């Protein structure tokens, strides 16, 4: 895929008017889901916004996104892709593990913010992706084009990016319905009591500090993390493999901290530990397995540990060997 050095001027799509009659076979479907299927060239976010803003009418009336359609109803409206001028393409080196016309897999370095936001309008992964492949700019959310899932700034490793709108929807559903396998490697303070285990505990906003997540049995969402201890370092640290069945915000960091073994270098959930020797939180998305949305081929790709992570492990190993 050729890159394009020009700015993303003129990439916003014109408004699109439509009139659709609900057939008996599609009755009972949510309004937003129905339109996402009926107008595949427009993102779900744009469709949801059009419904909220009253630009979509069902038999002449405004309805909610969750409205269940009835056979014979007529839907009229206007939807448009949001303007994406906010995302500027930038030439930033990417470590690409796999790429075809539909998607790509890359290894995100630590310290790289995934998408533009307050205080980070440039220098993000999305800026690099839009430079690498112009078409990505029109896929999905306007400030997170192509992004199927996210990693924290200081978490390194494998990420999946969609290059077409219908592929983006398919992959988002794949994550939502757990039709893939996600593995991580983490260096932890301490050693879990069991060599391997499965933690089921809901994760939600911290009841006091809204900037943090926590195990929350009242408002938290179902979250499952499996772990296996791969190596111990002097009884002080452990390298673990983690397979997550759900993808809640900060899930691994919260779950491991709840076991009394926070991720090394984590200044949020392991602030009470000595993290001075770690360059960042020692968490790496190492492997992703899923069926290709077009070919059905099983894609199984891994991302090697970044140098800073390897250096920490080598230092711990060297400390063990010192008499």
Per-residue pLDDT at 284? 98
What is the distance between the alpha carbons of residues 187 and 204, in angstroms, rounded to a whole number?
23
pLDDT along the chain (323 residues), means of 10: 24 59 86 83 80 92 94 89 65 96 97 78 89 90 87 95 94 92 98 97 87 90 97 96 95 98 96 94 98 97 97 89 54
Per-residue pLDDT at 208? 81
Per-residue pLDDT at 41? 63
What is the distance between the alpha carbons of residues 267 and 180, in angstroms, rounded to a whole number?
30
What is the distance between the alpha carbons of residues 62 and 319, in angstroms, rounded to a whole number?
67
- Rounded to 5°, angle at Cα 291 from 290 and 295: 150
Partner residues linked to 300 by β-bridges: 289
In the sheet that holds 16-21, the strands lie side by side as: 16-21, 74-79, 56-58, 61-62
Longest Cα separation, the chain: 81
Region class of 230: left (phi > 0), else alpha (psi between -120 and 50), else beta: alpha
Per-residue pLDDT at 115? 82
In the numeric block, which tokens belong to residue 178? 């757990």
Model confidence, pTM: 0.73
Per-residue pLDDT at 141? 79
Neighbours of 260 (CB within 10 A): 12
- Known catalytic membership, residue 141: no
Q: Which of 8, 32, 152, 266 is catalytic?
A: 152
| Sign of CA pseudo-dihedral 292, 297, 298, 301 | negative
């Amino acid at each position: 895929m050729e890159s394009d050095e020009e700015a993303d001027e003129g990439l916003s799509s014109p408004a699109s008017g439509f009139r659709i009659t609900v057939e008996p076979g599609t009755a009972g479907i949510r309004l937003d889901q129905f339109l996402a299927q009926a107008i595949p060239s427009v993102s779900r976010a744009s469709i949801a916004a059009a419904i909220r803003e009253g630009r979509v009418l069902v038999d002449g009336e405004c309805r909610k996104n969750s409205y269940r359609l009835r056979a014979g109803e007529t839907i009229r409206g206007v939807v448009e892709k949001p303007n994406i001028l906010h995302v500027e393409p930038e030439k930033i080196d990417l470590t690409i593990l796999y790429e075809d016309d539909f998607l790509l897999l890359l290894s995100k370095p630590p310290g790289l913010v995934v998408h533009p936001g307050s205080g980070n309008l440039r220098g993000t992964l999305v800026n690099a992706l839009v430079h690498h492949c112009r078409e990505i700019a029109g896929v999905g959310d306007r400030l997170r084009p192509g992004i199927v899932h996210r990693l924290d700034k200081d978490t390194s490793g494998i990420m999946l990016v969609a290059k077409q709108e219908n592929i983006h929807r398919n992959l988002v559903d794949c994550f939502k319905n757990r039709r893939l396998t996600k593995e991580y490697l983490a260096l932890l303070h301490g050693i879990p009591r069991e060599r391997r285990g499965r933690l089921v505990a809901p994760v939600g906003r911290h009841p006091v500090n809204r900037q943090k997540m926590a195990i929350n049995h009242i408002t938290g969402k179902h979250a499952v993390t499996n772990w296996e201890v791969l190596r111990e370092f002097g009884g002080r640290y452990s390298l673990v493999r983690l397979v997550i069945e759900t993808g809640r915000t900060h899930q691994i960091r919260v779950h491991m901290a709840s076991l009394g073994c926070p991720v090394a270098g984590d200044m949020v959930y392991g602030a009470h530990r000595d993290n001075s020797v770690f360059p960042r939180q020692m968490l790496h998305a190492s492997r992703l397995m899923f069926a290709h949305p077009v070919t059905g081929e099983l894609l199984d790709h891994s991302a090697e540990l970044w140098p800073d992570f390897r250096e920490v492990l080598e230092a711990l190993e060297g400390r063990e060997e010192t008499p």
